[in-house]
Amino acid sequence: MSVVLWIPLVGPLAFAGLSLLLRGSALRRFVGVAASGAVLVSGLLLISTVLNGAVPTSGGGMLRADALSAYMLSVVGAVGLISTWGGLSSAASSRTRTAAGYEALIALFLAAMSLAVLADSIGLMWAAVEATTIATAFLVGHHRTRHSLEAAWKYVILGSVGVAIALLGIVLIYAASVGTDTPTLSWLLLSQSGLGLDPALITAGGALAVLGFATKSGLAPMHSWLPDAHSQAPAPVSGLMSGVLLSVALYAILRIQSITNLVIGPEFLRTMLSVGGLLSLFVAASLLIRQRDYKRMLAYSSIEHMGLMAIGVAIGPAALPSVLLYILGHGLIKATLFVISGRILKVEGTPMISDVRALLARRPGLAVPWLIAMAAIVGFPPFSIFFSEVGIIMAGWAAGLGGVVGAALVLLLVIFAAFTRLTVQMTIGAPPDGVAFTPDYSAHGPRLPIILALATTATVAFVAEPVGTLLLQATAVLGGSN
């Protein structure tokens, strides 16, 4: 099975090369979809292997897929598939040279993210996360307008400085391991107890590494690149960044936490992540109330959800299955929303909420899926985000973090109200009098990925076998007994 570990790395790279070679072919537009498909299929294969009790490794132990890695790889593939398939470009526009670079960079991004979750080395994981900055820089600046250039510059500077801080942390963690018998960066070895790692170096290293990866996962106060980048990037790229990049950065934090917990206990990172999480919820709440741009609205929603996930990580093992389910649910729904937002932007020609009115009456083909996905993102059952949020809050209460989850609940309520108001503004209501219109039932793009994403998130929380088992196994990997 160890060959499967190479498919999500080599497959997308091969497709990226193909995209550059297929001159003027309309087939090129399927490169992103094919790359995501390769990642998803190998993720599912690895999950089935892991559930049978095996842990595939390859490349001299550099690549390794335990339950957590296999699950994250499947999330990368699934979110990638929804984003790229939903945002499929037209045959005509895919013949240009910019389209070739665009598709190749998307495939490169997917390969880098797969490497980040499969690498059994904090260093290699770091290099892969930094490589995504490189792949997404030109994707954010794809439209080549003043705004997208500004967003791309801020994204690359803040992203690489943040990731450089993480590198400093990783260097200190390595320095701590040099004092032991086996100098290593493998988190498998580092997260074994009894190594005798230097607590002072691990504290400083862990704090810096978490701070760095928190920048990449959009936690306040290092979030300022996120709304700009998400609002200026093409819709499928926004979906990929929100659903994949932020989640993989959170995965990195989970891995670092499993190392620091053994040496210095959970309290230190718990405080850091709780503060970051609450601050993110606060920033999202205060900027969502008066939001005017619907793509920025979705970006702040990502900050909100990452904040709540960070609180879940702070709570510890009891909340981790909910956090992992959250990563999947948020990724799929956010990719769907960004894809639909891209279509609304294309047909309406404006990103302003106030200019898009009565969408349900005028364009039911777009408004109906938009409303369903909005209901899912604010946390209505039966969508899995509801169960994740309830799971995190219950676990926090049981773990004695009642104050933190109480404050989070209040902020969630504010965000819920703001979201409802903005969505109602866009969709409900009658068009202005005297303007003749015919309802537009077209979905302006493939319907199937949207239906698949919504159906998956609506049912996944009810599937105890194998989803529940997998989530518990993944939590056990991180040192939790629950």
Partner 1 sequence: MFETFYPQLIGLCTGALLLTSALMVWRHSLLASIRLLGLQGIALAALVAVIGIAEDESELVFVSLLILTVKGLGLPWVLAHQSKASIKQIQESPRLNPTAALLAVTLLTILSYVVVSRVFGLGDTTTGHAAPIGLAMVLIGFLLLISRRRARSQLIGFLLLDNGIATIAFLTSGGVPILLEFAISLDVLLVVLILHVFAGRMRTKFGGTAVDQLRELHD
* Cα–Cα–Cα angle for 452, 456, 462, rounded to 5 degrees: 155
**Contact window for partner 1 (CB under 8 A) among 66-74, 80-88, 159-167, 454-462:** 159-167
Q: Is 147 in the site for partner 1 (CB under 8 A)?
A: yes
Q: Residue 349 is encoded by which pair of tokens?
A: 């020609």
Residue 293's DSSP bridge partners are 352
Return the residue matching tokens 């020609």: 349
What part of residues 408-447 is at the interface with partner 1 (CB under 8 A)? none
According to DSSP, residue 241 is labeled I
**Contact window for partner 1 (CB under 8 A) among 274-282, 284-292, 386-394, 395-403:** 284-292
Cβ-contact 427, 369 below 8 angstroms: no
- Alpha carbon distance 136, 16 (integer Å): 14
Q: Is 144 in the site for partner 1 (CB under 8 A)?
A: yes
**Contact window for partner 1 (CB under 8 A) among 162-170, 246-254, 307-315, 389-397:** 162-170
Q: Is 352 in the site for partner 1 (CB under 8 A)?
A: no
- Alpha carbon distance 478, 107 (integer Å): 29
Question: Reduced to 3 states, what is the DSSP secondary structure of residue 446?
Answer: coil
Binding mask 102-131 for partner 1 (x = CB under 8 A): -------------------x-xx-xx--xx
Residue 119's DSSP bridge partners are 63
Q: Is 153 in the site for partner 1 (CB under 8 A)?
A: yes
What part of residues 192-251 is at the interface with partner 1 (CB under 8 A)? 200-201, 204, 227-228, 231-232
- Using the minimum distance from each CB to partner 1, give the nearer residue, 49 or 160: 160
Residues 44, 287, 347, 407: which binds partner 1 (CB under 8 A)? 287
- Using the minimum distance from each CB to partner 1, give the nearer residue, 178 or 352: 178
Residues 74, 83, 133, 238: which binds partner 1 (CB under 8 A)? 133
Binding mask 375-394 for partner 1 (x = CB under 8 A): --------------------
Return the residue matching tokens 């309830």: 390
Return the residue matching tokens 């979906």: 239
Q: Is 160 in the site for partner 1 (CB under 8 A)?
A: yes
Q: Is 172 in the site for partner 1 (CB under 8 A)?
A: yes
Q: Is 174 in the site for partner 1 (CB under 8 A)?
A: yes
Report in angstroms how near the CB of residue 421 gets to partner 1 at its nearest: 16
- Alpha carbon distance 410, 353 (integer Å): 25
Q: Is 185 in the site for partner 1 (CB under 8 A)?
A: yes
- Alpha carbon distance 401, 395 (integer Å): 9
> Is the alpha carbon torsion for 397, 401, 406, 409 positive or negative?
negative
Element (H, E) at 63: strand 63-64
* Cα–Cα–Cα angle for 341, 71, 194, rounded to 5 degrees: 130
Q: Residue 441 is encoded by which pair of tokens?
A: 């039932």
Go through the chain and tell me how many residues it has: 482
Interface contacts to partner 1, rule CB under 8 A: 121, 123-124, 126-127, 130-131, 133-134, 137-138, 141, 144, 146-147, 149-154, 156-157, 160-161, 164, 167-168, 170-172, 174-175, 178, 183, 185, 200-201, 204, 227-228, 231-232, 287, 290-291, 296
